[in-house]
Structure 1
Amino acid sequence: MEKKIIYLALILFLSTRTITPVQSKYYSESHPYEPVHEKKTHLRFYLHDILSGTKPTAVKIAGPNKTQTDNDPTPFGTTFAIDDPLTEGPEITSKVIGNARRIYASSSQDKNLTLVLYVDLGFTCGKFKGSSLSVFSRNLVTEKVRELAVVGGRGRFRLARGFVLVKTQYFNASNGDAVLEYNVEVVHP
């Protein structure tokens, strides 16, 4: 009986030492790219960034660890999470067409406010319902018109690329509320 157990253990040990060849590349063979017919789409809408009131759409989630206080509402390192409505017109009562879910961080140590932001522009109605655009870029807030990079999308905007021109339509310096005009040029399948 003891010999059988030793013999069985030896067989199990040797069978686990056998190497089985496996196809395990992390990539597949490259093939020539055959571009599909692409379209260029222009979109214009307004983003309402509300920091004030009982139901703000932008909230501070992190800030620099410093003991001095200054009047800068977004000192270097301050990070916000945002769920802003997108509307057809600049008025908050305009038709809501989607939302901008984003994160931005104050990324400049000088006096010119610069934000690095990621934003998912999700559309909830119309031709692009269920689709979104992904923007990841530097936003030089002190410039009159800022250019942001569209780096992708989903739904009808899958494989999108392009840019957004952002203009501030309204800004309340006392509470930080703003209305931004987004003009988007995007190429997509």
Structure 2
Amino acid sequence: MTGSNDTRGKANANRPDQQSVDDQRHDQGPPGSVNDSSLPSPERIQELLFEAARIGRDDMITPLIDAGADLEAHDIKGHTALVLATYNGHESTTGLLLELGAAADGDTVSGSPLMGVCFKGHLRIAKKLIDAGADANQRNSAGQTPLMMASLFGHRDIIDLLVSNGADLRAIDAAGNDAVSLARAQGNEEMASWLLELGP
């Protein structure tokens, strides 16, 4: 099967992995007022938003937005605050970012926020994103869909959610793989058979 051997490598590339948090978040956190003369630089404010999203610091999110941080900005790896929160499993932070206007389908280097959630298996966060309008068929740069990610890593509950929200079971990525072939590439014949039963 063409391209299946490197699919998992692509899925792991550019992941918004949780990073260590330095002590600066304690003594350089967002000020209580956006008029504070000690306000950090715009660049630092943006960095703090990414860090807050990555570690699930809900208390920092709104003050940072009020101080000028951009919800749709990308960090050095190409990820938005929403991608960082969703990938790292922070459900309440995800909800807050969506309430503040973060785009559920925001396009990043790793695809949509839903793509990373399906990779990691965060069902409740996947539901939040779909409820907020996330497209179950949005593709990443390799032509992969959220359902392909869920199939690759065996997340049946997420597959059920995606299919019930219009995910295409027969979509094919740029390397010629569909969800069934991706499951088989991981040696998961049970998943592959189940996917075939789901299909038309």
TM-score band by shorter chain is under 0.3
Task: Say which one has the larger Rg.
Answer: 1
What TM-score do you get using the length of structure 1 for normalisation? 0.26
The TM-score, its normalising length taken from structure 2, stands at 0.25
Task: Report the structure, 1 or 2, having the larger strand content.
Answer: 1
- Flag the structure with higher helix content: 2
Higher relative contact order (CA 8 A, sep 6+): 1
